[in-house]
Structure 1
Amino acid sequence: MHTHTHTLNLGILAHVDAGKTSLTERLLHTVGVIDEIGSVDDGSTQTDSLALERRRGITIKSAVVSFAIDDVTVNLIDTPGHPDFIAEVERVLSVLDGAVLVLSAVEGVQAQTRVLMRTLRRLGIPTLIFVNKIDRAGARYADLLESISRRLTPAIVPMGEVRELGTRDARFTPYTGPAPRLLELLAEHDDGLLAAYVDDKATVSRERLHRELAAQTGRCLVHPVFLGSAITGAGISELVKGIRELLPSATGDTDGPVSGTVFKVERGPAGEKVAYARMFSGTLHTRDRLPFRDGEEGKVTAISVFDRGSAARTTSVTAGRIGKLWGLGDIRIGDTIGVPRNGPAEHHFSPPTLETVVVPARTADKGALHLALTQLAEQDPLINLRQDEIRQETSLSLYGEVQKEVIQATLADEFGIDVTFRETTTICVERPVGTGAAVEFNGKDPNPFLATVGLRVDPAPVGSGVEFRLEAELGSMPYAFFKAVEDTVRETLGQGIHGWQVTDCTVTMTHSGYSPRQSHAHQRFDKSMSSTGADFRGLTPLVLMDALRQAGTQVHEPMHRFRLEAPTDTLGAVLPVLAKLRAAPQTTRTRGTASVLEGRIPAARVHELEQQLPGMTRGEGELESAFDHYAPVARGMLPERARTDHNPLDRKEYLLNVTRRVAG
């Protein structure tokens, strides 16, 4: 391995149609990875392995392409650009050393561009800006730079000028001397430069300015701007030079404790799981046992590392690099391997707030559909499945409507299954309002199970999830029975009084008891008189639901915070629609001819607002929205969700379904 090379894990991010895939192709061509340039329209691009992406021209799942620029190995990590995949984007961002944010010279700054830039800045990722499509009619330059500094970040450094803008001959000419205003901008963060600037501008050498530009880019204080065209290749070699000289290489202590993050999981040709992990510290060897997630363990059976262009089998992967790992059967995207990073807090993705039922076109595909969705879900924790045994249906959680199309196409292309979706509904949660307790004793009517279970439910702070505690004596029965109760509690809380997931509560086990193994003389032990895990799994839902009913629950619906920018003269049309959609603007600012409204809107209404916005705002309205919190639903509109369990709320129905225990 070339230990002297630096590694740069790079992401290219863009609004869905700014030309990210074409730019990726062009970069790979410029550095010699691919011989000919595919076109998204012909569907022959390199990084888009999914047939769907070739059709839609949008990139969804992250893949890695590696190449060398001089002594730097660049791992280009492909990131999705569509807002429905913002969670996917954030997951990939946590493993980057630097990014290139792509804009179109024609469309300019779009709502999604701003979401991406804000996320990059929040996560502290050094970012270059590349303005693509300078060869297209309608391409802008001066007013676009002004718009970038006003709407994305004021700290931009244009690295050159554009000649023949908006024609096939458009080209990017880098400044021969320092960029205009560069010294002033850098001096804001560097007192030495400031002194030199005040005394005599001429004393600051070009080298020093370039060094300081790289340092401040690396600290996310400034963002160099390059312009060009992925189609004609204009400005690309300057961008490559900028990536090499201005973005910081990966750092990490190769002798430290092993720590990494899994940002992609795929299945190999034989169905085996392959995890892509970015190493932040330490050195991981084949045959190492690795802790991940909640104390689970796996043994790494093989490793490949990206180096100068391709992934090569090797025996270890070191800090700063990306490895493909085999052998971790239970690994999921987002898992930390080894010790968690003590950097910025791990990102909690906002929950999906929509759900839909997936219906196979052919009834015969039901089993295959469930299997296919299970595989997709295990590669991506953002896909949540609920299997309804009673109606034989599978529902799927979603972040947005486009995700449906993607899943639909993936099922058709990869699994040959055609599906449709029912209408999308909102996913609510239930929170306990008060405290409730219940207990049923072993051998006392009406309890048909050989088990004693007592549970108390208490409300807990918002965001705390579900905590299970024991007040019962641990030694009072085998540990496996306590575990059966805890697992069943967690499972049962998937559906509360109104059918929604119950969260933010503490469940305490107050009573426990069991019947030890009974054996008669000269006979095997009598199963009908000895407690089994099934007794505890059968009884727990009844006790828990009694306690929950006593505590009472409140249904909460997901609310998004939104930011809407529109021409001020259209507010007369926009405000009544917001009111109709139960959106509450909290602040309104006017900037020139545009107004910005920020506020809250029920997740269920975001899609409608997106659809109506262009018509109300002459196509100039821009909406950004993201999950913010859950708010109590007004009494009169309590949404119920159909149950997919044996309904422990109805004791008779439940026992009919559950106690198929044959006596004797």
Structure 2
Amino acid sequence: MHVLNLGILAHVDAGKTSLTERLLHTAGVIDEIGSVDDGSTRTDSMALERQRGITIKSAVASFGIGDITVNLIDTPGHPDFIAEVERVLGVLDGAVLVVSAVEGVQAQTRVLMRTLRRLRIPTLVFVNKTDRAGARCDEVLRAVTGKLAATSVAMCRVEHPGTRAARTLACTADDADFTARLAEVLADGDDTLLAAYVRDEAALPYGRLRAALAEQTRGARVHPVYFGSAITGAGVDALVDGITELLPAAGGDAGGPVSGTVFKVGRGAAGEKIAYVRMFSGTVGVRDRLRYGARGEEGKVTAVSVFDQGTDVPSPSVSAGRIGRLWGLGGVRIGDTIGEPDGTPPGGGRHFSPPTLETVVVPCRGADRAALHLALSRLAEQDPLINLRQDDARRELSVSLYGEVQKEVIQATLADDFGVDVTFRETTTIHIERPMGTGCAAEILHADSNPFLATVGLRVDPAPVGSGVDFRLEVELGSMPYAFIRAVEETVHAVLRSGGIHGWQVTDCTVTMTHSGYAARQSHAHAVFDKSMSSTAGDFRGLTAVVLARALRQAGTRVYEPVHRFGLEIPADVYGTVLPVLGRLRAVPRTSSPHGASYVVEGDIPAASVHALEQRLPSLTRGEGVLEYDFDHYQEVATPRSSGGERRS
């Protein structure tokens, strides 16, 4: 039995979840196709997903096609939940990118395809909604080829598009236009095939073309395009054939060293953590002890389930190639490696832009403050990019966001799942701070200015852009218990996350511990251990926060705001009207060029100005303007704006 871990990706409302339902029905897993509008789909299991009719969390369903078990992962389409897609990409063997035949290639579609191509994930394109009024199949195919991937090949043609009678006909060896296009695209990626094509295109046997199509699709060099309707089922059988023929099965040695990746963390009915793991090598069984995560934690697996015929079922083990759910790993986090890291695939790390918005979460009842912190911590386990920040001085909790819809979902989840009613402060753009120079500070044990039983010295130095935070030691590792050094390191990261001089997260720096010292365990004569005379980890945490604040103040910091790279397609006759608006929004056009009756403007725009541009664009362009943007870099702010006021230490 082969396994294929398949992702379904799309711009919101392209019909991705409906296609998932149709695939499960075609495979015989479900007897009746659920409706997104009615909230009856298999993969949208959250109450909020059913109410809003959108996918918020990635979900796994399984079905069989011949001797292949397909683990199908349905991902959110709304850009506010791109973090869910981010976590799934690293566990896929292949993907189906869904495009609407009515709306066509949209901004999020292009972002997804760029990422799939960059990660070399084999991808099929399914143009959905061919039965809907306004379906533009030929135009959408041209857009797929022109905007998503030049190496796209239509595998079928559509009859009666835009009507309920729309149906697809598979392209065959007898279709001269199809074989010519296929030979042209495949020859461009295969020198041997190219030589044969140049000699005599007509002499290329169809079997050879088909074999080359499978090879190049699995290598993510060619992207077959299918047409159909998830609602009527038209074209879905052809898509299923393409999935089995053209996408690669999962690899991995079930007898090799254990290696897997956690791409989702849920909680069971009793509140226990459940890790969703894609196994790349080895086998994990019940009662196995596993090391996981960068922290080298260890846990005992208490239960295992694997996905089969639509849902997950209890199993004694999960092996290479499969997706399983593991119980018993209490400290597990999203992104953790299970076992050895060597078996995980390349391309890890961030694939999409980081969130650039932030809001303060305020409990409606003051007594709920502790419950709110616990609830947000639970949500941060499931979505680390929420990036929960706590400001102890102002007693505020902040979360990072991709957009306003995500804020609404957090509010509803806190109320429904945790019984905590909240409001939000105005959404602001996330800035960062970077050190301007070097700063040093130290406090010595038993000094009058030091209320803690500890010695801590720290030096803060600037580091290259994009390097994050690096903690180093200039003291001997054995100079004091490792638990104290670990407390200093953890506090350094926590303090820098919570905010620097201007209240924003500090990054791109190296923090070096230059002094250390502690009071050994001691007590009065014939008495038990007295922590008032002996250092504890709490002493080092408290002192580290004070010393680091002084070192940062000496180093000084600059504030930077996020900047997006944008592409704007507008009617040519409004070009002169739009440019001044871009200037007032601090956008910097880099290039502009005519494209038929349109102009395409590309450049940089501060993230804080994007929403205003989106609001003004319809009236400026008669509703014809199309804006795409993606995070590109941070730029220095001339007049730093504090996150709720300067920090004081």
Deviation of 1:526 (Å):
5.7
Query: Relative to 1, partners in 2 of residues 1:477 and 1:408: Cα closer, same or farther, differing over 3 Å?
Result: closer
* Worse overlay, 70-79 or 527-536: 527-536
Deviation of 1:446 (Å):
2.9
SS in 2 for 1:136: coil
Q: Verify the 8 A CA contact 2:565 2:604 in the aligned structure 1.
A: yes
Instruction: Give the corresponding residue for 1:311.
Output: 312
Deviation of 1:610 (Å):
2.0
Partners of 1:36 and 1:266 lie apart in 2 by 27
* Worse overlay, 291-300 or 476-485: 476-485
Query: Relative to 1, partners in 2 of residues 1:564 and 1:292: Cα closer, same or farther, differing over 3 Å?
Result: farther
Partners of 1:516 and 1:48 lie apart in 2 by 56
Report Cα offsets for 1:47-79 as digits up to 9, x if no partner: 101122222221121111101111111111011
Deviation of 1:527 (Å):
4.8
Deviation of 1:528 (Å):
4.2
- Does 2:163 align with 1:167? yes
5 Å matches for 1:367-378? 367-378=370-381
Partners of 1:391 and 1:125 lie apart in 2 by 46
Deviation of 1:523 (Å):
5.0
Instruction: Give the corresponding residue for 1:260.
Output: 260
Instruction: Give the corresponding residue for 1:144.
Output: 140
Partners of 2:484 and 2:142 lie apart in 1 by 66
Partners of 1:89 and 1:390 lie apart in 2 by 35
5 Å matches for 1:82-481? 82-177=78-173, 179-180=178-179, 181-294=181-294, 295-340=296-341, 341=343, 343-348=345-350, 350-481=353-484
5 Å matches for 1:562-601? 562-601=566-605
Q: Give the percent of matched residue pairs that are identical in Structure 1 and Structure 2.
A: 70
Deviation of 1:266 (Å):
1.0
Partners of 1:29 and 1:117 lie apart in 2 by 27
Partners of 1:55 and 1:452 lie apart in 2 by 55
* AA in 2 matched with 1:536: F
Q: Verify the 8 A CA contact 1:68 1:309 in the aligned structure 2.
A: no
* AA in 1 matched with 2:255: D
Partners of 2:149 and 2:45 lie apart in 1 by 34
Q: Verify the 8 A CA contact 1:133 1:230 in the aligned structure 2.
A: yes
5 Å matches for 1:647-662? 649-650=648-649
* AA in 2 matched with 1:465: G
Partners of 1:520 and 1:100 lie apart in 2 by 70
Deviation of 1:184 (Å):
2.1
Query: Relative to 1, partners in 2 of residues 1:87 and 1:623: Cα closer, same or farther, differing over 3 Å?
Result: farther
Partners of 1:605 and 1:475 lie apart in 2 by 51
Instruction: Give the corresponding residue for 1:513.
Output: 517
Partners of 1:486 and 1:571 lie apart in 2 by 53
- Does 2:34 align with 1:33? no
Report Cα offsets for 1:433-471 as digits up to 9, x if no partner: 111222233333333333333222221222222222222
TM-score (norm 1): 0.91
Partners of 1:484 and 1:167 lie apart in 2 by 65
Deviation of 1:416 (Å):
4.2
* AA in 2 matched with 1:248: P
Q: Verify the 8 A CA contact 1:273 1:326 in the aligned structure 2.
A: yes
SS in 2 for 1:312: strand
Partners of 1:623 and 1:359 lie apart in 2 by 33
TM-score (norm 2): 0.93
* AA in 2 matched with 1:112: Q
Q: Unaligned 5+ residue runs, structure 1?
A: 651-664
Deviation of 1:81 (Å):
0.7
* Worse overlay, 512-521 or 419-428: 512-521
Q: Verify the 8 A CA contact 2:435 2:557 in the aligned structure 1.
A: yes
Partners of 1:303 and 1:615 lie apart in 2 by 55
Partners of 2:193 and 2:477 lie apart in 1 by 66
* AA in 1 matched with 2:640: L
- Does 2:11 align with 1:15? yes
* AA in 2 matched with 1:293: G
Instruction: Give the corresponding residue for 1:484.
Output: 487
Supply the RMSD in Å over aligned alpha carbons. 2.3
Partners of 2:68 and 2:565 lie apart in 1 by 41
* Worse overlay, 393-402 or 226-235: 393-402
* AA in 1 matched with 2:77: G
Query: Relative to 1, partners in 2 of residues 1:548 and 1:73: Cα closer, same or farther, differing over 3 Å?
Result: same
SS in 2 for 1:194: helix
SS in 2 for 1:382: helix
Query: Relative to 1, partners in 2 of residues 1:471 and 1:32: Cα closer, same or farther, differing over 3 Å?
Result: same
Instruction: Give the corresponding residue for 1:662.
Output: none
Aligned length: 641
Partners of 2:480 and 2:264 lie apart in 1 by 42
Deviation of 1:362 (Å):
4.4
Instruction: Give the corresponding residue for 2:58.
Output: 62
Instruction: Give the corresponding residue for 2:504.
Output: 500
Partners of 2:312 and 2:56 lie apart in 1 by 21
SS in 2 for 1:37: coil
Query: Relative to 1, partners in 2 of residues 1:585 and 1:292: Cα closer, same or farther, differing over 3 Å?
Result: farther
SS in 1 for 2:484: helix
Q: Verify the 8 A CA contact 2:520 2:535 in the aligned structure 1.
A: yes
Deviation of 1:534 (Å):
3.5
Query: Relative to 1, partners in 2 of residues 1:366 and 1:518: Cα closer, same or farther, differing over 3 Å?
Result: closer
Deviation of 1:283 (Å):
2.1
* AA in 2 matched with 1:70: G
Partners of 2:406 and 2:274 lie apart in 1 by 24
- Does 2:632 align with 1:638? no
Partners of 2:22 and 2:539 lie apart in 1 by 63
* AA in 1 matched with 2:381: E
Query: Relative to 1, partners in 2 of residues 1:437 and 1:108: Cα closer, same or farther, differing over 3 Å?
Result: same
* AA in 2 matched with 1:129: V
Partners of 2:279 and 2:95 lie apart in 1 by 18
Query: Relative to 1, partners in 2 of residues 1:282 and 1:575: Cα closer, same or farther, differing over 3 Å?
Result: same
SS in 2 for 1:303: strand
SS in 2 for 1:241: helix
